[in-house]
């Protein structure tokens, strides 16, 4: 039931955004290099990937933070598997389920009701799927860093809130990143959030080649995972785990 409810919500928000974008692109055709059909496709891609990429949180990070706060994380560190890989596997599973469960229906609805700019060649779709998986890893990398901040901050509400704000804004959920004006646009397009929604969308609509998209995403994925590893090392060496 929760999944069905989520699908409904994504569809409603998608509708609202589509109409505003249509008005915006009506006023300024080719804003950010997109035409209307591409802007519409971008909306539905965003709604479809919203839950998968946990842009508004809702992945593993709240659970991990809670385990850090209660000290249960000590048990996780005992396990004969690596903490980061454990949660990565956990989160990829969730993301894949939500891609199918929450992504397909809003996307199909959008593609049927509005004119969209989707390719019909299967290779592009395959490349798109690869980009989505890379986006999932980047998304995990960001949220893993935020969750680990719990070792020092203990209460993660503020960090989570900051993550949601930057996530929604910098991933292009409110406005595609290529429509951001001037230097602000250049900055957000270089940040890791651009690897989440903008890259797969641009790839699917032929705005960018697969190799440069993959490279951008992979660089951020590796950098974030490495940073997570360093932070995890620092946390396990230096921080005393909560407990009683």
Contact positions vs other proteins (CB under 8 A):
1-2, 5-6, 8-9, 12-13, 15-16, 19-20, 22-24, 27-28, 31, 157-158, 161-162, 164-165, 168-169, 174-175, 179-181
By beta-carbon proximity to other proteins, the closer residue of 32 and 141 is 32
- Give min distance, CB of 70 to other proteins, in A: 19
By beta-carbon proximity to other proteins, the closer residue of 147 and 173 is 173
Contact 240, 157 (CB under 8 A): no
By beta-carbon proximity to other proteins, the closer residue of 122 and 182 is 182
Contact 99, 132 (CB under 8 A): yes
Contact 199, 131 (CB under 8 A): yes
Q: Shortest CA distance to 7 belongs to which of 79, 108, 150?
A: 108
- Give min distance, CB of 91 to other proteins, in A: 20
By beta-carbon proximity to other proteins, the closer residue of 58 and 210 is 58
By beta-carbon proximity to other proteins, the closer residue of 137 and 160 is 160
- Give min distance, CB of 95 to other proteins, in A: 18
| Residues in Cβ contact with 58 at an 8 Å cutoff, skipping those fewer than 6 apart | 51
- Give min distance, CB of 41 to other proteins, in A: 18
| Residues in Cβ contact with 69 at an 8 Å cutoff, skipping those fewer than 6 apart | 150, 154, 155, 156, 242
- Give min distance, CB of 157 to other proteins, in A: 7
| Residues in Cβ contact with 43 at an 8 Å cutoff, skipping those fewer than 6 apart | 14, 17, 18, 21, 110
Alpha-carbon distance 56 to 78, whole Å? 31
């Amino acid at each position: 039931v929760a999944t069905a409810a989520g699908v409904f919500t994504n569809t409603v928000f998608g509708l609202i955004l589509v109409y505003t974008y249509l008005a915006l692109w009506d006023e300024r055709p080719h804003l950010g290099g997109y035409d209307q059909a591409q802007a519409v496709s971008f909306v539905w891609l965003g709604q479809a990937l919203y839950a998968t990429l946990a842009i508004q949180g809702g992945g593993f990070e709240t659970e991990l933070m809670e385990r850090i706060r209660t000290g249960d994380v000590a048990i996780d560190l005992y396990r004969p598997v690596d903490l980061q890989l454990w949660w990565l596997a956990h989160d990829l599973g969730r993301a894949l389920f939500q891609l199918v469960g929450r992504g397909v229906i809003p996307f199909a609805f959008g593609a049927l009701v509005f004119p969209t700019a989707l390719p019909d060649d299967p290779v592009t779709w395959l490349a798109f799927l690869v980009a989505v998986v890379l986006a999932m890893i980047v998304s995990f990398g960001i949220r893993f860093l935020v969750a680990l901040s719990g070792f020092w901050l203990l209460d993660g509400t503020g960090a989570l809130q900051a993550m949601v704000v930057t996530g929604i804004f910098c991933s292009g959920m409110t406005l595609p990143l290529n429509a951001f004006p001037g230097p602000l646009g250049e900055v957000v397009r270089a940040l890791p959030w651009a690897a989440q929604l903008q890259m797969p969308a641009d790839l699917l609509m032929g705005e960018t080649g697969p190799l440069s998209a993959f490279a951008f995403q992979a660089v951020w994925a590796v950098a974030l995972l490495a940073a997570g590893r360093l932070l995890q090392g620092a946390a396990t060496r230096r921080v005393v785990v909560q407990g009683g």
